[in-house]
Amino acid sequence: MKSALFTGAAVTLGLLLASIGSAQANAESTGSHQPTPQARQHGIEKAGDAYMGWVQNTTTKSAAPAVMAPAASVEGIDVSSHQGNVNWAGQWSAGKRFAYTKATEGNYYTNPYFAQQYNGSYNVGMIRGAYHFATPNDSSGANQATYFLAHGGGWSRDGRTLPGALDIEYNPYGATCYGLSQASMVAWIRDFLNTYKARTGRDPVIYTNLDWWSQCTGNSTAFNSTNPLWVARYASAPGTLPGGWPFHTIWQYSSTPIDQDRFNGDQSRLVALANG
């Protein structure tokens, strides 16, 4: 009787310790992605909530800047879980002809609205693409590229699917440059890009802005001849481009009433980018 009681107590104690250990592990994982106070001001309440241009959005929610379109351009938008189910017919009627949808973040999050957003834009006739919000402090570039590809970030030469985009910008969960040196950041980005290209044959688009790229990569020029630039600048012009890129491919120029993007070329060039 004493032996059975002892055995039962030991099992109960073991289960309790395992439960505590699991709770501690989950707390540590969640703790590493606690949004900063600044991020919380922009609707980032938990891991996975990050979105393109979240810092720029602080100054442009009240009114969109007056932006003159070039002679040849195509209007588009980018969306994430913050937009929920998107009225794609309405966006088409508003003149939008391409859209990027957030697919993943780090190696821990997938957008629950991805299918509605990614397929919905395609179904109304738009050219669509997927983007990955990078968190370089969590895992390698190769790991996150693989995660992205496994959760909607792939590419096919159908004339309607754009190459995946790497969203590399301010960290909403901590240190601006994710605790990496400039050299380490460049190496991380290269690891992501190389992995994606090896799997798809396409060079991903890089979404960033001049300030972050200068701070965190030393304004690296390593990718300006291979990867299309998607520059973020909420103003009347794209301004000085980061990394020595000779021109931008996409410009995110506003967040009102939804993130607004402009392709630098006509529809035929957008289709050419999709086809590779």
Catalytic residue among 169, 203, 259, 261: 169
Separation of alpha carbons 264 and 72, rounded Å? 7
Annotated active-site residue 78? The verdict is: yes
Q: Bridge partners of 208?
A: 231
Annotated active-site residue 167? The verdict is: yes
Please provide residue 81's backbone torsions phi and psi, each rounded to the nearest 5 degrees: -60, -20
Show pLDDT as tens, one digit a residue, over the chain (276 residues): 334 433 344 434 444 444 434 334 333 344 579 999 898 988 899 999 999 987 874 333 333 444 455 569 999 999 999 999 999 999 999 999 999 999 999 999 999 999 999 999 999 999 999 999 999 999 999 999 999 999 999 999 999 999 999 999 999 999 999 999 999 999 999 999 999 999 999 999 999 999 999 999 999 999 999 999 999 999 999 999 999 999 999 999 999 999 999 999 999 999 999 999
Catalytic residue among 49, 167, 203, 261: 167
What are the tokens at 56?
A: 């720029």
Render 207-229 in DSSP notation, one character per residue.
EE-HHHHHHHHSS--TTTTTS-E
CA R_g for the chain: 21
| Full-model pTM | 0.83
Annotated active-site residue 266? The verdict is: no
In this predicted structure, what is the pLDDT of residue 22?
A: 38
Render 90-149 in DSSP notation, one character per residue.
HHHHTT--EEEEEEEETTTEE-TTHHHHHHHHHHTT-EEEEEEE--TTTS-HHHHHHHHH
pLDDT tens figures, 150-183: 999 999 999 999 999 999 999 999 999 999 999 9
